[in-house]
Amino acid sequence: MRIENAVFLIVLLLAAGFFSYNVQRLLSYLSIALPDDRGGHPLVRLKNVITVAFLQKKILRDPVAGPMHALIFWGFCVLTAGTIELLLHGSFPAFSYDFLPTSLYQFYSISQDLFGALVLGAVAFAFYRRLVLHPERLEGDNLEHSDALIILGAIAGLMVTMFGVNAIELALDPESITRAKPLSFALSMPLRGLPIGLLNGAHAVFWWAHALLVLAFLNFLPYSKHLHIVSSIPNVYFSNSQGPGPKGVIRFLDLEAENVEQFGAADVDQMTWKDLLDGYTCTECGRCTSVCPAHLTGKVLSPRKIIIDTRRRLMEKAPLLLGDYSELAHHALVHGEGDEGSTSATAILEHRLLDNFITEEELWQCTTCRACIQECPVGIEHLDHIVDMRRNLVLMESRFPPEVLPTFESMERNGSPWAFRPDDRAKWAEGMDIPTMAELVERGESPEILFWVGCMGSFDDRSKKISVAFARILQAAGVPFAILGQEETCNGDPARRMGNEYLYQTLAKQNIETLTRYDVKTIVTFCPHCFHQIGNEYPQLGGNYEVIHHSTYIERLLEAGRVPFDTDAGKTLTMAYHDSCYLGRYNDVYDAPRETLRRALPIVTMVEPERTRDRGMCCGAGGGRMFMEETQGKRINVERAEQLLATGADMLAVACPFCMTMISDGVKAKDSEVPVFDISEVVASRLRA
């Protein structure tokens, strides 16, 4: 072993040692977190890793940055093989992959060259994009920018030095097996004939530069957003954002657990390890914020900031909790004692994530539309952070926008978010001959389905027409159904999304008790919030039912030819359908409402707004926003109505009573006469008289 090999081996071991120390340090920070069971379903989770991480499914949703990143990532995977060869070769000169069959080795050589060039091209574009194009979603503070530029510079440096090493090796030995590298071979041409001593010297410089850059970069990871190359694969594996199980289900909170005195999260040590891993994994790419309806309408909420703040707070607090004050000493050394009032351990421990990093205002602006989670390429679940902090606000501190108080109180007293009399719940059905479950049971009958009307359908004047329309369809199709009438209460979704888990569980348990008493098996509802809540979240409390959204149910009836239509096909019209978040992104129901419209109106032309299906924009009512004032920025429903009206459609269709209110108001605000209908109303309008 020559002296430089020995030196390199020592450098290599030191670098590897420091890297593993840092990885261990970051892992130890996760130990301050709460447990979260993310095990089970390994096949689904592996499939997510393959599609989301390795095949870059989500990354490629961005047609510009997508291919750029995919090339760098796939290049990284391919070139890592070369890096390992180079590092081992540097320590043990005899090591090389040339023991492989020649054709395989040549294939390997070509891949290195090819991907080296592709990565270099992609990095050049990335520089151009960041420095010249300035996409809005990459805006951040100086730290975030310098981080990104250092990373791009390092990757470019790695590629340049790799080509340097390869080209010089080929100049020294044009017959080498590595001549299969066409680009390096071309680069080597002008170098041939240079003095061997010079070439050898240059080779050493490039080789050491490359090797040291690899090791420096490796050790830069734990201090930067580039950590995601290590953490994103586990984060995608453990993420529930693509399944297993239904999407968007809020974590169960055991309110009766012994000795639990904290509900929700005000700081990082009250969050789960997955929340903290989200922080490690965030690449600050801003895809989440760029689709956030609150952000797009000029509000302060940025889901990206929520995650970055989680990480920053973790890095500040976790070492202190674990008794490591070195970071603090470092900070004091750099910034001086007492700087920003945060250099003393007490000050840091007195701070918390909520209020000092993330404000109440940001948290209440979220519509829980899941657009951020849908877009995130590394499996971050922003809503877990937001809902957990809302839980702390409501359950621990009783802090929420003042207009929410009557909502909570009404849900408690009247079983609906509005102060309507519970005994008026079935008033919409008067004269329609719709039985209640209680009446059917008395007659010794049981219905095929329970029509879950929901609070909007029971009390909101506009939505009551949807209840009537859907009931008429069921009656025309001869489906035996019943309603709960006064025994129905709010499903609890707004309370749960607003962090009031206590109120939610009270309502949910009451409904489950009622549904169990009547031995209900199948529930159909036209409210996507009721649909998601009862179908996907009631199982946490022991309520298991088949819950079908009316769009799916009507589509099935139409398919089976059970709905008697008038022969008149109506006039030709164009229609734009607005996707409800809780139907679409939460439950992947995109086609049923569209298909229902097409079947009901054979000559309809469906037009799609620019943001549609899993990229559809929220109407602004979700997450309890329906019951809060919207004071900052533009109104979300107006923005969405503009997008829908821009399609030029004659008619807008929705499949959610909350969307109905928001979109109708938005259309009115634009002084437009375009009518808004629920899909069931479109179908009911064609029923044979």
CB of residue 263 vs another protein: minimum separation in angstroms?
Answer: 5
Kindly state the smallest distance separating residue 586's Cβ from another protein, in Å. Answer: 26
C-beta of 217 vs 408, nearer to another protein: 408
Within 8 A by CB and 6+ apart from 688, the residues are: 476, 564, 565, 566
- Report d(CA 456, CA 467) in Å as an integer: 9
Round to whole Å and give the CA distance between 661 and 650: 18
What's the min distance (Å) between Cβ of 385 and another protein? 19
Q: Tell me which residue of 345, 127, 378 sits closest to 239, measured CA to CA.
A: 378
Q: How far is the CB of 40 from another protein (least distance, A)?
A: 29
**CB-wise, 87 or 266, nearer to another protein?**
266
Q: Where are the alpha helices (DSSP H) in 525-564?
A: 528-532, 550-559
For another protein, the closer of residues 333 and 405 by Cβ is: 405
Q: Please, what is the minimum distance in Å from the beta carbon of residue 422 to another protein?
A: 8
Nearer to another protein, 64 or 255 (CB): 255
Considering the complex, state which of residue 343 and residue 489 has its C-beta at the smaller distance from another protein: 489
Nearer to another protein among residue 423 and residue 559 (C-beta)? 423
C-alpha 325/C-alpha 306 separation (Å) is 26
Q: Tokens 């109303």 map to which residue?
A: 681
Go through 135-159 and write b for each residue having 16 or more CB atoms within 10 A of its CB, e for each that does not.
Answer: eebbebeeebeebbeebbebbbbbb
Q: Which of 458, 452, 451 is nearest to 414 (CA)?
A: 458
CB 415 to another protein: min, Å: 9
Residue 495: CB minimum distance to another protein, A: 12
Cβ 78 to another protein, closest distance in Å? 53
Residue 66 structure tokens: 């997508």
- State in angstroms the smallest separation of the CB of 397 from another protein: 6
| Strand duo 676-678 + 651-654: pairing | parallel
Q: Which residues bind another protein (CB under 8 A)?
A: 255, 261, 263, 394-398, 400, 405, 408-409, 413-414, 419, 421, 423, 501-502
Angstrom distance (rounded) from CA 527 to CA 558: 20
Cis peptide before 244 (omega within 30 of 0): yes
The Cα 439–Cα 295 span in angstroms is 49
The closest of 573, 572, 569, 591 to 648, measured between CA atoms, is 573
> Residues 503, 492: contact at Cβ < 8 Å?
yes
C-alpha angle with apex 611: 608 to 615, nearest 5 degrees? 120
In terms of CB distance, is 56 or 407 closer to another protein? 407
Helix (H) or strand (E) holding 524: strand 522-525
272 forms bridges with which residues in the sheet? 34
CB of residue 395 vs another protein: minimum separation in angstroms? Answer: 4
| CA distance linking residue 560 with residue 185, whole number of Å | 67
